[in-house]
Amino acid sequence: MIDFHIQRFLDYLSVERGLSANTLASYGRDLAQFASFLQKRDVTQPGKIDEDCMIAFLGILRSKDFARTSAARKVSAVRGFIKYLCAERVIDKSPLGAFEPEKPARRLPKCLDLEELSCILDAPDIRDDLGLRDKAMLETMYASGLRVSELVGLKSDDVNLKMGFLRCVGKGNKERIVPIGEIAGEYIAAYLDRVRGKLTKSERSEYLFLSKLGMPMSRVMFWKIIKKYTAQAGIVKSITPHMLRHSFAIHLVERGADLRSVQEMLGHASIATTEIYTHVTRDHLREIYKETHPRA
- Count Cβ atoms below 10 Å from residue 83 Cβ, excluding itself: 13
Of the candidates 147, 196, 246, 251, the residue annotated as catalytic is: 147
> Contact, 165 vs 102, CB < 8 A?
no
Q: Kindly give, in sequence order, each residue whose CB lies less than 8 Å from that of residue 149, ignoring residues fewer than 6 positions away.
A: 20, 22, 219
Sign of dihedral through CA atoms 194, 195, 198, 204? negative
Residue 85 near residue 5, CB atoms below 8 Å:
yes
Which of 73, 133, 245, 246 is the catalytic position?
245
- d(Cα 121, Cα 157) in Å, to the nearest integer? 25
| 245 assigned to active site | yes
Task: Reply yes or no on whether 106 is catalytic.
Answer: no
The answer to whether residue 147 is catalytic is yes
d(CA 43, CA 32): 14
The residue annotated as part of the active site, out of 74, 133, 251, 268, is 268
Catalytic residue among 8, 155, 227, 242: 242
Catalytic site residue from 8, 171, 176, 228: 171
Task: List, by residue number, the catalytic residues.
Answer: 147, 171, 242, 245, 268, 277
